[in-house]
């Protein structure tokens, strides 16, 4: 048994989740045998929180067989990218069927960053109203919102002002946080969530940059860090944010490296100089253009 990764209160849900949340996009195009071996890795490191989505290929179907024996071992989260209420409701039922469960711990409005889509999702007949009804019916326990890009922290502030979400999800890595505008908005979201006991999930910790013509030898839409020492610095930097969670990586081959890094964290954050060196040595760059 490897040293278990630290657990933190997942907002107001009452669940102690591992700092590393398993990002199930890693299962989007693997067969069941590979998925089952991945489950063994999660259990080895004490990961007890799965974050999936209907848009992650076969992920929900691959997780379903795990739930027959391990439902009590995991906080189970999925998403909907649909904005109209009836469609979001139908998608939720499909997720329940694929995951082989009667209830999901967290349902999230997926990638809610476009203002027009936001207006639709938050309308009387929108996805949020459908998810609230599903919560009232016991199909889900908690409701969150997720997103990518430079403007998502600002959009999350709007979402949190509109509805008392239980969780948010947004990017956090050295490149993002060094953008002054993004850093200010991220810190505002983080402070609000700490006061309101809203869980903060982060993504793209080990993103190096766009593939930009390089051979795409990992199951990620971005080029990831590969060396264990580089992954250590990137993971430990995120881990130093009090109360924040980190989704792992969309590739089963890199997953053990990320979990190994998190299991060895000693509350000693990398220095700014070490992170600057990482950026220079690994040519870290933005995934979403120049930023704001």
Give pLDDT tens digits for 24-59.
999 999 999 999 999 999 999 999 999 999 999 999
Q: What does the alpha-carbon distance between residue 158 and residue 182 come to, in Å, rounded to a whole number?
A: 15
Note whether residue 290 is domain-resident.
no
- β-bridge mates for residue 49, sequence order: 75
| CATH number of the domain bearing residue 123 | 3.20.20.100
Q: Do residues 66 and 291 touch, judged by C-beta distance below 8 A?
A: no
Q: How far apart are CA 278 and CA 232, in angstroms?
A: 11
Asked if residue 131 belongs to a domain, the reply is yes
Q: In this structure, is residue 104 part of a structural domain?
A: yes
User: Considering the chain, what is the average pLDDT of its residues?
Assistant: 96
Cα R_g (the chain), whole angstroms: 18
Strand partners, 76: 50
Total number of domains in the chain: 1
- H or E element in which residue 99 lies: helix 85-99
Q: CA 63 to CA 98: how far, in whole Å? A: 8
pLDDT given for residue 3 in this prediction: 63
3-state SS class at 53: coil
With cut-offs at 50, 70 and 90, classify the pLDDT of residue 215. low
CA separation for the pair 103, 101 (Å, rounded): 6
Give the domain range for residue 86. Answer: 7-281
Residue 147 falls within a domain, yes or no? yes
134: pLDDT strictly greater than 60? yes
Evaluate whether residue 18 is within a structural domain.
Answer: yes
- Taking alpha carbons only, the member of 148, 247, 146, 243 closest to residue 197 is 243
Residue 30 counted as domain residue: yes
pLDDT: which is higher, 222 or 107: 107
172 in any annotated domain? yes
Give domain status of residue 288, yes or no: no
Least confident window among 132-146, 173-187, 277-291: 277-291
Reply yes or no on whether the pLDDT at 219 is more than 90: no
């Amino acid at each position: 048994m490897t040293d278990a990764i630290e657990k933190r209160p997942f907002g107001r849900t009452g669940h102690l989740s591992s700092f590393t949340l398993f990002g199930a996009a890693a299962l989007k195009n693997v067969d069941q045998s590979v998925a089952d071996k991945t489950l063994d890795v999660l259990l080895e490191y004490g990961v007890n929180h799965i974050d999936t989505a209907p848009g992650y290929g076969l992920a929900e179907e691959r997780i379903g067989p795990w739930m027959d024996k391990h439902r009590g071992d995991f906080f189970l989260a999925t998403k909907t990218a649909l904005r109209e209420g009836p469609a979001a409701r139908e998608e939720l039922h499909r997720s329940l069927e694929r995951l082989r469960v009667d209830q999901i711990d967290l349902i999230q409005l997926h990638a809610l960053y476009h203002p027009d889509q936001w207006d639709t999702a938050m309308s009387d007949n929108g996805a949020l109203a459908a998810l609230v009804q599903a919560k009232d019916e016991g199909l889900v326990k908690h409701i969150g919102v997720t997103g990518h890009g430079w403007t998502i922290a600002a959009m999350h502030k709007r979402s949190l002002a509109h509805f008392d979400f239980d969780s948010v999800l947004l990017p956090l890595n050295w490149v993002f946080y060094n953008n002054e505008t993004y850093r200010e908005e991220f810190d505002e979201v983080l402070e609000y969530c700490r006061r309101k006991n809203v869980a903060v999930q982060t993504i793209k910790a080990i993103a190096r940059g766009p593939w930009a013509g390089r051979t795409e030898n990992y199951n990620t839409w971005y080029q990831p860090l590969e060396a264990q020492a580089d992954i250590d610095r990137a993971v430990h930097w995120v881990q130093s944010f009090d109360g924040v969670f980190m989704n792992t990586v969309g590739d089963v081959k890199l997953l053990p490296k990320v979990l190994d890094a998190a299991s060895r964290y000693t509350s000693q954050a990398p220095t700014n100089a070490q992170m600057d060196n990482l950026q220079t040595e690994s040519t870290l760059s933005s995934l979403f253009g120049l930023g704001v």
